[in-house]
Amino acid sequence: MKRRTAIRNLAVGAGAMTTLMNQSCASPSDTAEKSKLIETSTLKGNVNHSVCRWCYSKMPLEELIDASKDMGIKSIEITKPDEWDVIIKKGLTVGMGTADFISLTDGINNPKNHEKVLQPYFKLIEKASDMGIKNIICFSGNRNGLDDEVGLENCAVGLDKIVKHAEKHNVMIAMELLNSKVNHKDYQCDKTPWGVKLVEKISSPNFKLLYDIYHMQIMEGDVIATIKKYQDYICHYHTGGVPGRNEIDETQELYYPAIIKAIVDTGYKGFLGQEFIPTWDDKMAALKHGVMTCDV
Q: Higher-confidence residue: 8 or 155?
A: 155
Assessment of whether the complete model's pTM goes beyond 0.75: yes
Task: Parse the chain into domains and list their residue ranges.
Answer: 39-294
What average pLDDT does range 122-139 have in this prediction? Answer: 98
Taking only the tens place, the pLDDT of each residue in 53-80 is 999 999 999 999 999 999 999 999 999 9
What is d(CA 171, CA 193) in angstroms, rounded to the nearest whole number? 23
Band of pLDDT at residue 5, cut at 50, 70 and 90: very low
The answer to whether the bond into 243 is cis (omega within 30° of 0) is yes
Percent of the chain residues past pLDDT 90, beyond the cut = 86
What average pLDDT does range 27-32 have in this prediction? Answer: 51
pLDDT score recorded for residue 33: 61
pLDDT score recorded for residue 1: 45
pLDDT for 192 beyond 70: yes
pLDDT for 39 beyond 90: no
What is d(CA 79, CA 56) in angstroms, rounded to the nearest whole number? 12
Taking only the tens place, the pLDDT of each residue in 135-154 is 999 999 999 999 999 999 99
Q: Could you give the strand order of the β-sheet that contains 271-274, starting from the edge strand earlier in sequence?
A: 75-77, 48-52, 271-274, 234-238, 207-212, 172-176, 135-138
What is d(CA 34, CA 89) in angstroms, rounded to the nearest whole number? 29
- The two most distant CA atoms of the chain are separated, in Å, by 78
Taking only the tens place, the pLDDT of each residue in 64-121 is 999 999 999 999 999 999 999 999 999 999 999 999 999 999 999 999 999 999 999 9
What is d(CA 200, CA 196) in angstroms, rounded to the nearest whole number? 6
Question: Pick from 71, 226, 53: which is nearest to 137 by CA?
Answer: 53
The number of CA neighbours under 13 Å toward the Cβ of 197 is 15
pLDDT for 15 beyond 80: no
Taking only the tens place, the pLDDT of each residue in 215-254 is 999 999 999 999 999 999 999 999 999 999 999 999 999 9
Task: State the sign of the Cα–Cα–Cα–Cα dihedral 277, 280, 285, 286.
Answer: negative
pLDDT score recorded for residue 21: 38
CATH topology of domain 39-294: TIM Barrel (3.20.20)
What average pLDDT does range 154-169 have in this prediction? Answer: 98
pLDDT for 18 beyond 60: no
pLDDT score recorded for residue 42: 87
pLDDT score recorded for residue 16: 42
